Amino acid sequence: MGQKYDIGKVGAENVAIGDHATAEYGINSAHLEGWGGMPVESSRGIFLSYRRQEAAPYARLLQFQLRERFPKAQVFMDLDSIEAGLDFAEVIREAVDSCAVLVALIGRQWTTLTDEEGRRRLDNPDDYVRFEVGAALERDVRVIPVLVDGARPLHQQQLPAELQKLARLNALELSYGRYEYDADRLLNIIQRVLVRQQLFGL
């Protein structure tokens, strides 16, 4: 990679990435040449779903990298994308409908975080993360689970019925010690999804 990134408060180190990362997981120049060498100009967006208590710095940095790498694609993130006075659920539903991929950042407490009254947030049908992921799964949007900082893979019994498919999806990792490597894998997969959608509508 050329440019280095610093995750700041989460303290992720800048780690050099070998060429094998792109070769194994993403689209390299040879792949793009096979599709006419075209840039990613998909009209579909990218949705970042996360809990602020455990993944906000990672989401913010990924947002920056996604916008830099895919300038034609809209990156939806709740803090920046919902105007005051708008219905949260309606905006999320419309955003998910317009996206080719949803990235679900899953921290160690993703399934256990509670609200002010001690109730598990995932058990609340109006929980925004549950709503985001559930809407994407219902609409067959590509969902990429990303396990943050050593989070364990999900099990179906931990999840509400409409999210249980999430436990069957192959997950990536995003870690403190190898942020650049992990983020590059994720961005390469997103690029592949966007190019497929752009060329074939898949």
* pLDDT on residue 79: 61
Q: Strands across the sheet with 75-76, in order?
A: 75-76, 45-49, 99-106, 142-148, 172-174
* pLDDT on residue 80: 63
Per-residue pLDDT band at 166 (split at 50, 70, 90)? very high
Query: CB under 8 Å to 128, separation ≥6 — which residues?
Result: 78, 88, 92
pLDDT of 18 above 70: no
Structural domains of the chain sorted by starting position, each given as residue range(s) with its CATH number in brackets: 25-200 (3.40.50.10140)
Per-residue pLDDT band at 27 (split at 50, 70, 90)? very low
Nearest-angstrom CA–CA distance, 73 and 68: 10
pLDDT digits (tens, 9 = 90+) for 47-78: 999 999 999 999 999 999 999 999 989 999 87
* pLDDT on residue 42: 63
* pLDDT on residue 81: 66
pLDDT digits (tens, 9 = 90+) for 107-131: 999 999 999 999 999 999 999 999 9
CB 76 within 8 A of CB 44: no
Matching residue, tokens 């999430």: 166
Assessment of whether the complete model's pTM goes beyond 0.85: no
Side-chain-side CA neighbours of 143 within 13 Å: the count stands at 27
